[in-house]
């Protein structure tokens, strides 16, 4: 079973990485067009932790997530991913690093000419693990996100919620150490948002490290009742720990 494999793998990962940070930002900043988007960001993501990243629209949540998987380079300070300085990474290093991070985008990027099932298997193909592509694993994963009947559909045929769940399934197929989700519930109704959060909480309980960018405070409160999560807020380009109101 795929989910069981992920659980075992995650527990093993926590043991191996105890005391280490998956992501570390030290006074990191990002400037675009002469304007500071982020500044003096200091953050450490420990294995198995659950973090929310919140803040008003345009505050830099997506930018911070992009720094966390080297889609962007900091203009100041330092960012380390899996103990490696992002500035010292080669292109191959970046590719290998991204295989250990599952990213769920708000606009769910898929290859539209491939079926959902093929899109889910794609991370295994690009990393040379074609032997790990078993129909039963894919069925298991599709079932876990509630898309058993939609495996042969093309991404444009999916609803917003289905796309989000497919993106989450693809993000975890490599059994990554870290899952980054950017507004994963942005395009879905409240019920679907809760379902998606339940999946992410389940992954965290399996040992996965989760960082979710969202501005939905109600959702954060709901999740905090189930799991120990830290809430970070970006305010005036700086990162703060959110108050007790959350």
Partner 1 sequence: MAARWDAELARTSTIRISAPEGQMAAQSEAVLEVLRTTPGIASARVMSEAEQRKLLEPWFGPDLPLDTLPVPRLIEVLEEGRGPDAAGLKLRLSAEAPGAVLDDHTRWRRPLVNAATRLRILGAVSILLIAGSTAAMITLAAQSALAANGQVIGVLRLIGARDVYIARAFVRRFTLRALVGACVGTVLAMIGVLFMPAAAEEGAFLTGLGFKGWHWILPFLIPPLAAFVAFWATRWAAFRTLSRLS
Instruction: With CA atoms as reference, report the closest residue to 181 among 104, 125, 122.
Output: 104
Q: Which positions from 85 through 144 interact with partner 1, judged by CB under 8 A?
A: 91-92, 95-99, 103, 105, 109-111, 122-123, 126-127
Residues 6+ apart with CB under 8 A from 15: none
What does the alpha-carbon distance between residue 157 and residue 149 come to, in Å, rounded to a whole number? 12
Least distance in angstroms from the C-beta of 217 to partner 1: 28
Q: How far is the CB of 173 from partner 1 (least distance, A)?
A: 9
- Report how many residues bind partner 1 under the rule CB under 8 A: 18
Q: Tell me how far, at minimum, the Cβ of 105 lies from partner 1, in Å.
A: 8
Decide whether 68 or 219 has the Cβ nearer to partner 1: 68
- Which CB sits closer to partner 1, 163 or 233? 163
Output the smallest distance, CB 94 to partner 1, in A. 8
DSSP, residue by residue, 37-80: EEEEEEEEE-TT-EEEEE-STTSSHHHHHHHHTTSS--SEEEEE
- Go through the chain and tell me how many residues it has: 246
Name the 3-class secondary structure at 184: coil
Which is nearer to partner 1, 48 or 123 (by Cβ)? Answer: 123
The least CB distance from residue 187 to partner 1, in Å, is 18
Restricting to residues 161-200, name those near partner 1 by CB under 8 A.
170, 174
Which residue, 112 or 189, is less far from partner 1 as judged by CB? 112
- Identify whether the C-beta of residue 168 lies closer than 8 Å to the C-beta of residue 123: no
* Residue whose structure tokens are 């998956």: 22
Query: Which residues have C-beta within 8 Å of that of residue 155, sequence separation ≥ 6?
Result: 108, 110, 111, 112, 114, 116, 119, 163, 166
For partner 1, the closer of residues 156 and 243 by Cβ is 156
Give the binding site for partner 1 (CB under 8 A): 91-92, 95-99, 103, 105, 109-111, 122-123, 126-127, 170, 174
């Amino acid at each position: 079973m795929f989910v069981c494999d992920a659980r075992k793998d995650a527990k093993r990962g926590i043991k191996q990485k105890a005391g280490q940070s998956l992501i570390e930002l030290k006074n990191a900043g990002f400037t675009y067009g002469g304007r500071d988007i982020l500044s003096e960001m200091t953050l450490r993501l420990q294995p198995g932790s659950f973090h929310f990243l919140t803040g008003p629209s345009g505050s830099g949540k997506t930018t911070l997530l992009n720094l966390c998987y080297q889609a962007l380079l900091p203009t100041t300070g330092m960012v380390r991913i899996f103990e490696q300085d992002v500035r010292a990474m080669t292109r191959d290093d970046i590719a290998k690093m991204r295989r250990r991070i599952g990213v769920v985008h708000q606009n769910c990027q898929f290859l539209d000419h491939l079926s959902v099932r093929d899109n889910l298997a794609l991370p295994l193909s690009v990393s040379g693990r074609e032997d790990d592509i078993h129909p039963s694993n894919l069925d298991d994963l599709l079932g876990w996100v509630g898309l058993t009947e939609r495996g042969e559909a093309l991404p444009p045929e999916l609803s917003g919620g289905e796309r989000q769940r497919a993106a989450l399934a693809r993000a975890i197929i490599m059994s990554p150490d870290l899952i980054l989700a950017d507004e994963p519930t942005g395009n879905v109704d409240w019920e679907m948002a809760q379902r998606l959060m339940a999946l992410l909480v389940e992954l965290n309980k399996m040992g996965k490290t989760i960082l979710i960018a969202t501005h939905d405070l109600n959702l954060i409160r709901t999740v905090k009742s189930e799991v120990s999560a830290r809430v970070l807020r970006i305010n005036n380009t700086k990162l703060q720990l959110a108050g007790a109101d959350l």
